[in-house]
Structure formats: C-alpha cells, structure tokens
C-alpha cells in the first residue's frame, strides 16, 4: 500500500479501550485513526460517516454491514472485526466488492461467567437488595432468594456454552435438561444433559430456563409467547445469547403481568436499548448491557489480534480471514 496514511475508523468502542488493550505503536505511523463510540442503525448516517475510510474496525455485531451499506462505501478495503465470525457482516457480498474481512480469537470464559453472574443475581434478587441497602430502605430484608438445589435448569441449546452451563448447574445440585431443534438423545447423553423431546416439555419442566443458541433466520423468534406461557409462575428466564431469539413483546407482556417470577437479560432486539424502552421500566428483570462477552482478557485478544490483522493487511498478507 502507498506511504500515505490509511484512514481507519474504530466503531462502537463503548468503553474507549481500543488503545488500552493493545499496542498500536507498530502501525500507528501508517494510519490516520478516528473513533466513533456511538452506535447508529441509520444507514444514511453510517454511509456518510464511513465513506472516507479504507479500514473499519467493528466490535462484534454492534454495527451491521449489509450489502446496501457496503455499496455506499467506495473506499472500504478491509473490515477488522472482533471475534472469529460476525453475523452482522455480509462477508460473501463484501468479498465480491474486494473487501477483506478478518476476525480475532478470544480469551477466557467471559460469556459462561456472565451467564451465571446474571442467573444468580436474578434468582437471588441481588440488584434489588443492593439498591435497597444503598438507599437506606427498611425493613432490612424484603426478598426471598430462589434456591437452586433440587431445582431444574432447562437449556435451550446444548452446544459448548450450554454444556458448560449445565456442568456448573450440577455443582449447585440442579437437574439439567435440554432441548434444541437439532439435539439428539445421543448428543444429550454425551454432554450429561437429560434429553427433552419437545420445546413445550422443556418450558413446562424448567424452574430456570437459559438460552444458548446462535441467531439465524431459522432461529429468529424461536421462543414464542406460547412457549413463555408454559413456564411456571415461579420460573426465571435467562437470555445471554441474542435478543431476537425471543419474541420480545411477548416476553415483556409475561413479565409485566408477572406470569413468571422474573428474567435476567443481557441481549435485546435493539442495542443499545433505547432510553424509553419498556423493558427498562419492569421491576422483575435484571439487566446488563450485552456485556456477556466483555472482559479484560477477552479485550486483550480482540484488540491485540485486531492490530495484528491490520498490520498483516497493510503488508499485503491478510490473516485470520473470514470466508
């Protein structure tokens, strides 16, 4: 590439840590870097903002690079995304435009840790009591935590994360059952999870239901209002995967009417969650801002590999290319 500095846009770095978790010194003199920590879903704004850039650093799926946007970015040559794949990028179409897409590895078990942090905070009402103690509220205790020993954890999805989630549940003395569209009795047995033949039975039997599925057109709204209606009034619903796996409006209705005990949510249909969104007004949810994959160790891998990927692209030998 020429000696002229290459224009780079870093998108959606909410915590402004791209330069904290990686050493950019080896390439900084070759680049002109701008950062845009505010996410927008408006394609017209994105096209105008990103038009000058040859390289874009994308944080997971926060900004979507569909074919229609790629068509409006004539200078784009390289997308450095974090994570090994990115469902928000039309990689096949990018390739037809001559745009290379590279991903990164990860480090640690951030998502698994977050599943259990959110689950435990939800069933033990940690955030409720934290707020009360800090506010000087009386009486001293008001909630009754939900004990896990002897209860049933239902897994929607029994892949790597679901299997690991189930192992931890057993340490708490829980029974672990699972279902997914492709789960077989043999695969369930190999993971130590009791196979459930139907989604309906899984929802009826679960005391805590946790979602560990990949979002695709086939799994969008996999969990419907009819499914949620089958949960016990004492049940808790946990989603750390993707918001659109669930009919969000149906979930809001179930929670607003207190037809289940509560929910722990890290993911939403629209992110960042609008300030006036009705989910923010519910009293029986524990919320986190899609930080399931976020940790210092994971960011070290994300941003460290991003710098390596940009350097390799500038040198004409792209690495970690996503096909």
Strand residues in 66-108 grouped as ranges (E): 78-81, 100-102
Q: Which residues pair with 57 in a beta bridge?
A: 10, 80
Query: Which residues are designated catalytic?
Result: 242, 271, 290
Label residue 172 exposed, middle or buried (CB < 10 Å: 0-12, 13-18, 19+): middle
Euclidean distance between CA atoms 223 and 267, whole angstroms? 14
Q: Give the helix/strand (H/E) hosting 33.
A: strand 31-36
Instruction: Let me know how long the chain is.
Output: 323
Eight-state DSSP code of residue 101: E
Question: Which among 219, 109, 102 has a CA at the least distance from the CA of 156?
Answer: 219
Euclidean distance between CA atoms 94 and 92, whole angstroms? 5
Euclidean distance between CA atoms 103 and 72, whole angstroms? 22
**Cis geometry, peptide bond prior to residue 41 (ω within 30 degrees of 0):** no
């Amino acid at each position: 590439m020429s000696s002229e500095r290459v224009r780079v846009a870093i998108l959606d770095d909410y915590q402004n840590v791209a330069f904290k978790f990686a050493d950019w010194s080896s390439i900084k003199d070759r680049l002109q870097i701008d950062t845009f920590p505010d996410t927008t879903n408006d394609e017209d704004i994105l096209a105008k903002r990103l038009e000058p850039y040859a390289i874009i650093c994308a944080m997971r799926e926060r900004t979507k690079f569909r074919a229609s946007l790629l068509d409006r970015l004539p200078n784009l040559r390289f997308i450095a995304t974090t994570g090994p794949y990115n469902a928000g990028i039309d990689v096949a179409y990018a390739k037809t435009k001559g745009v290379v897409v590279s991903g990164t590895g990860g480090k640690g078990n951030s998502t698994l840790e977050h599943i259990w942090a959110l689950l435990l905070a939800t069933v033990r009402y940690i955030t409720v009591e934290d707020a009360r103690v800090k506010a000087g509220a009386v009486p001293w205790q008001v909630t009754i935590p939900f004990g896990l020993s002897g209860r049933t954890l239902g897994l929607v999805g029994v892949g790597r994360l679901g299997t690991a989630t189930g192992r931890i549940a057993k340490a708490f003395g829980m029974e672990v059952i699972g279902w997914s569209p492709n789960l077989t009795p043999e695969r369930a047995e190999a993971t130590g999870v009791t196979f459930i033949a139907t989604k309906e039975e899984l929802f009826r039997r679960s005391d805590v239901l946790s979602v560990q599925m990949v979002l695709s057109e086939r799994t969008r709204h996999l969990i419907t209002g009819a499914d949620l209606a089958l949960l016990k009034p004492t049940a808790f619903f946990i989603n750390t995967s993707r918001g659109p796996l669930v009919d969000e409006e149906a979930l809001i209705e179930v929670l607003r009417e207190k037809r289940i005990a509560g929910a722990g949510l890290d993911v939403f249909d629209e992110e960042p969650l609008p300030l006036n969104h009705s989910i923010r007004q519910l009293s029986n949810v524990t919320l986190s801002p899609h930080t399931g994959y976020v940790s210092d160790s994971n960011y070290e891998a994300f941003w460290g590999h991003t710098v390596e990927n940009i350097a390799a692209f500038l040198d004409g030998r792209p690495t970690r290319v996503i096909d």
